[in-house]
């Protein structure tokens, strides 16, 4: 029987000879290496061109919508709030212009989320990360913060020099003004958000008088902090490390998806530009690095498609500006697809196919969900009725031989006017209903419900002796509004003793 060899500290050996063990930590320490690279602050230079102008336009539109919407008014009558867009948490309502959603209609929110997801998928498969480059809140507020930074501290080179300069009165003054404006933007952002959850003019007055609810101050503080930190300090780190969309988007694109790319066949080999020099034997890229200087993510688009690229296209503006100055054709960097690049390499004219499998599926799903939501919205009832049968006792025998069942009726009046509903029955012969605490014997039960309210009522239904042929009988409750003719029907059962 063989025995295991004893463990020793001697170096491992093989046929080729001894293999020395390596202390990785010691090597890293000697070479001053770490596993994580320290973040290098990005100072994007101001770009000029069509895409930069489009980004300014989108920023203006989106910020205007965000800040102005809570102040828009919409007349819904005397018994309803007049704020056009309002999330009324105490009243459990969501108002969007002429649409009013109740808690039990959460499926509309689900439909909106599905529509938003499909729209994002369709955008990703056609024009790549255009949402990230132009409309994402992180991009919009980061652009705004960089614009403030540029206004106070200067463009790229001036900001780099200021960062390296020793602390002085001028540097402190600039940084103080910059951060004060950033905080003001953060406060306005947080304040605008809470205005969506309360009447904006009323809440503003309460904030000015320091009489606002604690929840309002809390959320303004939280959103101010997030805006200030994300837009002022984290910037591209949010897109690269925190946002899942770059990873998801990679699975949605295909060879026909438009992306920002560098025409390597035309641009290589690179070389410095000299006025009057021949372009023979070299590419159009003069290695000026202006595409890198304007990139808010700090990447070099000439390295190919990268996870960090948000398709803002500022590198296109920068490169076109350089091409104009040196007299070379534009669009060395441009929007294009992998299929188009392959076509150019084969000497063919590139074509972009908008209609393909992915776009058809996403568009069809958007149309389907949108049509279902529109139909449900147009046909939604202004009256809701739910009936709950008492479970204990299931029935009560009365002294005259009749049987009584108890029910709880929950009535939803989705109009802005008070209504008085009438209940009728369709079921066992001779069945009568009585509202507990409100009706006289023999009178048709009435149920007054206030505007935009849900009310609960107790109802007793009595069936005469001998009318029941089985221990359970079908019972239909019909609730109607004599004034408008609106009605709601709910089926339940009437229980009696076993036969």
Please list the pLDDT of the chain residue by residue as tens digits (499 residues).
Answer: 444 444 444 444 343 444 444 454 554 555 555 666 677 889 999 999 999 999 999 999 999 999 999 999 998 877 788 999 999 988 888 999 988 888 888 888 899 999 999 999 999 999 988 999 999 999 999 999 999 999 999 999 999 999 999 999 999 999 999 999 999 999 999 999 999 999 999 999 999 999 999 999 999 999 999 999 999 999 999 999 999 888 888 788 888 899 999 998 889 899 888 888 888 888 999 999 999 999 999 999 999 888 899 999 999 999 999 999 999 999 999 998 888 888 877 777 778 888 888 899 999 999 999 999 999 888 888 888 999 999 988 999 998 889 999 999 999 998 888 889 999 998 888 899 999 887 655 567 889 998 888 899 999 999 998 888 888 899 999 999 888 888 899 999 999 887 7
How does pLDDT run across 407-448, given as a tens digit for each residue? 999 999 988 888 899 999 988 888 999 998 876 555 678 899
How does pLDDT run across 176-220, given as a tens digit for each residue? 999 999 999 999 999 999 999 999 999 999 999 999 999 999 999
Distance (Å) of CA 176 to CA 182, 337, 462, 474: 10, 45, 78, 76
Q: Write out the residue limits of the CATH 2.60.40.10 domain(s) in the chain.
A: 383-495
Fold adopted by 383-495: Immunoglobulin-like (2.60.40)
Q: Give residue 492's pLDDT.
A: 93
């Amino acid at each position: 029987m063989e025995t295991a060899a004893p463990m020793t500290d001697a170096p491992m050996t093989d046929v080729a000879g001894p293999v020395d063990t390596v202390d990785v930590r010691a090597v890293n320490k000697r070479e001053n290496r770490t596993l994580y690279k320290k973040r290098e602050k990005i100072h994007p230079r101001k770009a000029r061109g069509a895409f930069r102008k489009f980004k300014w336009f989108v920023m203006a539109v989106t910020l205007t919508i965000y800040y102005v919407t809570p102040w828009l008014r919409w007349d819904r009558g005397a018994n309803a709030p007049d704020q056009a867009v309002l999330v009324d948490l105490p009243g459990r309502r969501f108002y969007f212009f002429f649409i009013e959603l109740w808690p039990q209609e959460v499926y509309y929110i689900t439909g909106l989320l599905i529509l938003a997801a499909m729209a994002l998928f369709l955008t990703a498969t056609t024009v790549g990360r255009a949402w990230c480059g132009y409309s994402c809140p992180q991009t919009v507020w980061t652009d705004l913060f960089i614009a403030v930074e540029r206004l106070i501290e200067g463009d790229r080179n001036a900001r780099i020099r200021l960062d390296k300069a020793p602390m002085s009165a001028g540097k402190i003054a600039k940084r103080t003004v910059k951060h004060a404006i950033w905080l003001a933007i953060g406060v306005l952002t947080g304040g605008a958000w809470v205005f969506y959850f309360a009447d904006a003019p009323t809440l503003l007055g309460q904030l000015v008088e320091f009489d606002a609810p604690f929840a309002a101050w809390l959320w303004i503080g939280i959103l101010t902090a997030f805006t200030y930190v994300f837009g002022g300090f984290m910037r591209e780190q949010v897109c690269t490390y925190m946002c899942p969309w770059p990873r998801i988007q990679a699975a949605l694109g295909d060879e026909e998806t438009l992306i920002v790319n560098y025409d390597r066949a035309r641009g290589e080999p690179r070389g410095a530009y000299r006025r009057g020099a021949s372009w023979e034997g070299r590419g159009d890229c003069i290695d000026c690095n202006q595409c890198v200087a304007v990139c808010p993510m700090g990447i070099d688009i000439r390295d190919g498609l990268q996870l960090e690229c948000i398709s803002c296209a500022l590198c296109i503006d920068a490169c076109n500006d350089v091409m104009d100055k040196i007299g070379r054709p534009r669009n060395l960097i441009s929007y294009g697809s992998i299929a188009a690049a392959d076509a150019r390499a084969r000497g063919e004219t590139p074509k972009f196919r908008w209609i393909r499998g992915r776009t058809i599926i996403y568009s069809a799903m958007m149309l389907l969900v949108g049509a279902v939501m529109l139909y449900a919205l147009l046909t939604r009832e202004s009256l809701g009725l739910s009936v709950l049968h008492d479970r204990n006792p299931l029935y009560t025998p009365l002294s005259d031989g009749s049987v009584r069942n108890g029910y709880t009726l929950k009535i939803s009046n989705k109009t802005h006017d008070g209504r008085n509903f009438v209940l009728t029955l369709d079921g066992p012969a001779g069945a009568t209903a009585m509202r507990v605490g409100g009706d006289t014997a023999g009178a048709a039960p009435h149920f007054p419900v206030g505007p935009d309210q849900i009310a609960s009522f107790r109802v007793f239904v009595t069936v005469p002796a001998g009318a029941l042929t089985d221990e359970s009988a079908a019972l239909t409750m019909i609730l109607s509004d004599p004034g408008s003719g609106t009605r709601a029907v709910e089926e339940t059962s009437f229980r009696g003793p076993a036969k």
